[in-house]
Amino acid sequence: MKLILGFIKVPSKSEYGVIERDNLDAECAFNQFVGKLLDDAQGMFRENALYYQEDVILMPSIVFNCYAPVFAIYILSDNAETDSDGASSFLHMIIELLQENRLFASSKTVSLLLDTANIVSNRQNFYDADIDIYSDFSELYNKIVELEARIK
């Protein structure tokens, strides 16, 4: 998966587009990620995947298609071991994407996210994600598959 980083272009400041003055969440996402190199973004996810995941889903499409794959790469890495919040938020990000705005993500990004979700759903113990707190990852994945099937 590390090879994919070589094919992702970091969006320029202008590619973020206009950020609405009253949209504090989008402004925060912009401030957190603008100009971040992919390795820097990976470090941010290692630091606090739950926090930075919230920014990813708020980004413009071109930016989402850059940083969502970086999040996927992080969540499959050994660095994500015991990151229950990161793994759970990754699955929920995909559910939100499919429920709210599937066209937001490129087909390449969706394919990568779905493949990653499948792997994450089978590694609940790796993430130390208690089912009583984080739900059953396999059930979340089934919801993702169901949502994706409705869209096709």
Residue that the structure tokens 């994500």 belong to: 80
Write down the domain spans for the chain.
20-151
Kindly report, residue by residue over 1-38, the tens digit of the pLDDT.
Answer: 444 555 567 777 777 777 777 777 777 788 888 888 88
Residue scoring higher pLDDT (89 or 33): 89
Nearest to 85 by CA among 38, 121, 125, 51: 51
Which residues are within 8 A (CB) of 77 and not within 5 positions of it... i.e. 6 or more apart?
Answer: none
Nearest to 97 by CA among 85, 82, 112: 112
Percent of residues, the chain, with pLDDT higher than 90: 55
Q: Are 127 and 87 in contact (CB under 8 A)?
A: yes
Which residues are within 8 A (CB) of 80 and not within 5 positions of it... i.e. 6 or more apart?
Answer: 46, 49, 74, 86, 87, 126, 127
Structure confidence at residue 82 (pLDDT): 98
Structure confidence at residue 38 (pLDDT): 84
